[in-house]
Chains A and B, each alone.
Chain A
């Protein structure tokens, strides 16, 4: 466990382990190792020491703060924050499947829409009147959407919410 925490602070981890490791980080032992390893790192770089009660005082101040919640604040990944390439292909494939399927479902009820033309915008607008039809499909395939590359990515998950297509009218 400690070896994985050590690697975690160096941005070296297996994606499927991330959630469990972050949970560990928030328990007492995890915090202690995090504190010690960063103290070592800072000492090697001659960062200054702080008063021994710095964190205690800060924790008290933070406790007094109202909890901030902004789950969708990080919506777009920066160039330096991309998922591994092998998952991009899988994610793209999953997206194509969802788009194609949604378009197919829509097409069953509206022969005016061409299923061969299935850009993302079709998903965003067409299912609005057919939310009931699409929702069970997306619910049933929720696992497909949550591949390991997106673990812990609430912003991404929010983008895949069942009701999302109906909300995002164009």
Chain B
């Protein structure tokens, strides 16, 4: 079942064919991760979001130069860091901890990032609500669903590896992960609906 291909690259191919919607899917996937990365260079929440948006627009304009030689997120992280550096330079500020971002490996950058100081009242409250809702929903899951979603999301295991760990067919893993996500989403939906009413996403 496992494909050797990567959903990000599949989406990038479609963006390169002129499909903006595919790019929005990538933004939806990565915007929180990019914000966390930039929060180590920029402190203000509004500025972080603005620079995150600018970084994605720059990435969109540069998408013809993405040739699939590195992972999409590595390429994206590099653009985000450069966008933040340029932003800080234009503001006459120096980036904090800038030397930690010279590494080309996205994994290193991601692992080095810490929980940011995103402390406006709105986002702090929403963050706490989302995290607590998701964690409570995970705790309430039947054990086999909780184990499957944890191995996938927290440990990053493939379905094949999870099947080995849980001693069950891959199809069962796929079903358990989906059922776990749906159970969590059911709890999360009212929260997301309240913040996205009448919005496109």
Residues of A within 8 A of B (CB): 2-3, 6-15, 18, 22, 25-26, 31, 33-59, 61-63, 65, 67-71, 73-78, 80-84, 152-155
The answer to whether the Cβ of B101 comes within 8 Å of any Cβ in the partner chain is: no
Q: How far is the CB of B24 from chain A (nearest CB, A)?
A: 6
Q: How far is the CB of A124 from chain B (nearest CB, A)?
A: 22
Q: How far is the CB of A127 from chain B (nearest CB, A)?
A: 28
Q: Specify which chain B residues have a CB less than 8 angstroms from the CB of A67 in the assembled complex.
A: 18, 20
Q: A7-B178, A67-B20 given as contacts; is B68 within 8 A of A77 (CB)?
A: yes
Q: How far is the CB of A137 from chain B (nearest CB, A)?
A: 27
Q: How far is the CB of B165 from chain A (nearest CB, A)?
A: 15
Q: How far is the CB of A4 from chain B (nearest CB, A)?
A: 9
Is there contact, CB below 8 Å, between A73 and B199? no
Separation of A7 and B28 alpha carbons in the complex (Å): 17
| Chain A to chain B contacts (Cβ below 8 Å), 10 pairs | A3-B174, A43-B134, A44-B134, A44-B149, A48-B39, A51-B122, A61-B57, A67-B18, A70-B16, A76-B67
Is there contact, CB below 8 Å, between B200 and A8? no
Q: How far is the CB of B40 from chain A (nearest CB, A)?
A: 12
Separation of A117 and B29 alpha carbons in the complex (Å): 50
Is there contact, CB below 8 Å, between B3 and A12? yes
Q: Specify which chain A residues have a CB less than 8 angstroms from the CB of B21 in the assembled complex.
A: 26
Separation of A83 and B9 alpha carbons in the complex (Å): 13
Q: Specify which chain B residues have a CB less than 8 angstroms from the CB of A53 in the assembled complex.
A: 199
Is there contact, CB below 8 Å, between A84 and B159? no
Q: How far is the CB of B144 from chain A (nearest CB, A)?
A: 16
The answer to whether the Cβ of B138 comes within 8 Å of any Cβ in the partner chain is: yes
Q: A48-B116, A69-B17, A73-B16 given as contacts; is B181 within 8 A of A40 (CB)?
A: yes
Q: A68-B61, A74-B66 given as contacts; is B178 within 8 A of A26 (CB)?
A: no
Q: Specify which chain B residues have a CB less than 8 angstroms from the CB of A78 in the assembled complex.
A: 68-70
Question: Which of A12, A14, A35, A45 has a CB less than 8 Å from the CB of B28?
Answer: A35
Q: How far is the CB of B131 from chain A (nearest CB, A)?
A: 5
Q: Which of B1-59 contact A (CB under 8 A)?
A: 1-7, 9-25, 27-29, 31-33, 35-36, 39, 45, 49, 52-53, 56-57
Q: Specify which chain B residues have a CB less than 8 angstroms from the CB of A2 in the assembled complex.
A: 178, 182
Separation of A80 and B127 alpha carbons in the complex (Å): 34
Q: Specify which chain A residues have a CB less than 8 angstroms from the CB of B35 in the assembled complex.
A: 47-48, 50
Q: A12-B174, A40-B134 given as contacts; is B33 within 8 A of A47 (CB)?
A: yes
Separation of A25 and B160 alpha carbons in the complex (Å): 24
Looking at B5, B13, B29, which has the most chain A CB atoms within 10 Å of its CB?
A: B5
- Nearest to A48 among chain B residues (CB) is B118
Is there contact, CB below 8 Å, between B1 and A59? no
